Amino acid sequence: MYKEVIAHIRTLFGTGDEFVPLHAPYFGGNEKKYVLDTIDSTFVSSVGAYVNRFEEMMAEITGAKYAVATTSGTTALHLALIVGGVQPGEEVISQPLTFVATANAIAHAGAIPVFVDVDRDTMGMSPVALKAFLAEHVTMQDGMAINKHSGRRIAACVPMHTFGFPLRIDEVQEICAQYNIMLIEDAAESLGSTYKGKHTGTFGQVGIFSFNGNKTVTCGGGGAIVTDDETIAKHARHLSTTAKVAHPWEFVHDEVGYNYRMPNINAALACAQLEQLPAILDNKRMLADAYNEFFRERNISFVKGIEESSPNHWLNTIILDSIEARDAFLQETNTQKVMTRPIWQLMNKLPMYAASMCGSLSNAEWLEARAVNIPSSYRPGTNNIAITSKTSDLVPQQLP
């Protein structure tokens, strides 16, 4: 079976015995032109026209009123927590099934992560698990959610849209509102993904995105904060530029700031990539269609997203029957130079977060033992290739 999967992947990507990466960047537009433009202008650092243009494009794409360019998704999340009012020593609820940057950003803000379970079909935070955890462990005092066991305020909730698949974020939003908890969406992996017609990252008061080298679109390293709150946007932009007060020549800084502003040369690359986002999303949906048809015929669970969601299919994911099947698949594919990888080790199993408070994590543990990412790169020249299965066939699946 695994050899058949490898052969199918090689056919989809048109490779012989060459290495097939998990997700390679695609530069098919104005990338070189815009980057050379920044070099010619000499504005290659954090001031420049492309930074402003990038922010305008991100606001337009997501439907948010404001966007703030940062150096990475991690710095975007760190800033979002700070401008969201999270104080050192307070708690932030997140999910254990996420890339370590999510938990690290919480720690960078001086806060303490708390982990609640995910749903199997979204791989993102479960609103049922969140509601149960808050009902059991939280009391409201003066409008603040207080953890009855630690005595700390729960200042924010950071769910993550895993591999670009939207979670049930509207339900999480309602729960956070009931407990007066700031909702900050980690949409680092989900640029181009929507849920119930609304872009991920715009359900919470703040959302963040990543433009790392392996993302759907990339500028090598970069991030963005999106929000409808003008005060939050202005504060985030101010802190990202070392909290420097505008002046023609004086160096005046009024807060502890950060050197988190995206350089113009990276923004130029990002703008060229964002121009191609619709075509890239179409291309990746076609790949997901082809995978869906193949794995459906072989009775292998392929993650398709939930009803009323439109994922960007950043990393296509299959669910195998057991950890033994997962490890055998990883061994065979990688030995044959087809890059696959397991989902992340749960955050509460890492030494720096082992003492974190957790709810029941049965779904996260189940997925940790079974989920595998398979090659998901953009395939040049395939946008107009017809395939049997259509995107409309990607109906929500019921995972066991």
**Is residue 399 a part of any domain in this protein?**
no
191 and 123 in a single domain? The answer is yes
Give me the domain span that covers residue 345: 2-24+277-393
Residue finishing a domain among 256, 275, 294: 275
381 and 283 in a single domain? The answer is yes
Amino acid at 333: T
Q: Are 227 and 233 in contact (CB under 8 A)?
A: yes
Q: Take residue 89 and report the two structure tokens written for it.
A: 């020593």
Query: Which residues have a Cβ under 8 Å from the Cβ of 325 and sit 6 or more positions away?
Result: 370
**Is residue 325 a part of any domain in this protein?**
yes
224 and 214 in a single domain? The answer is yes
263 and 369 in a single domain? The answer is no
What DSSP element (H or E) covers 341? strand 341-342
**Is residue 398 a part of any domain in this protein?**
no
Query: Which residues have a Cβ under 8 Å from the Cβ of 278 and sit 6 or more positions away?
Result: none
> Pairing between strand 182-186 and 194-195?
unpaired
CA distances from 236 to 173, 208, 239, 297 (A): 22, 12, 5, 49
Q: What is the CATH classification number for the domain harbouring 312?
A: 3.90.1150.10
345 and 290 in a single domain? The answer is yes
Q: What is the CATH classification number for the domain harbouring 54?
A: 3.40.640.10
Closest to 182 (Cα-Cα) out of 226, 222, 144: 144
88 and 214 in a single domain? The answer is yes
% of the chain residues with pLDDT over 90: 92
> Pairing between strand 223-227 and 206-210?
antiparallel
pLDDT under 70 in the chain at which residues? 383-400
Q: Are 163 and 176 in contact (CB under 8 A)?
A: no
- pLDDT at position 393, please? 37
- pLDDT at position 2, please? 85
359 and 301 in a single domain? The answer is yes
Q: Give the global pTM.
A: 0.93
- pLDDT at position 399, please? 38
- pLDDT at position 191, please? 98
Q: Take residue 346 and report the two structure tokens written for it.
A: 């749960």
Neighbour-count burial of 358, counting CB atoms closer than 10 A to its CB (0-12 exposed, 13-18 middle, 19+ buried): middle
**Is residue 178 a part of any domain in this protein?**
yes
Count structural domains, the chain: 2
Supply the DSSP string of 136-162, one letter for each residue.
HHEEEETTEEEETTT--BEEEEE-B-G
Under DSSP, the state recorded for 396 is P
- pLDDT at position 384, please? 45
**Is residue 400 a part of any domain in this protein?**
no
- pLDDT at position 383, please? 58
Within a 13 Å sphere around the CA of 277, how many CA atoms are in the beta-carbon half? Answer: 22
3-state DSSP assignment of residue 163: helix
Residue finishing a domain among 259, 275, 291: 275
- pLDDT at position 46, please? 81
Q: Are 194 and 173 in contact (CB under 8 A)?
A: no
Q: What angle do CA 147, 149, 155 make, to 5 degrees?
A: 20
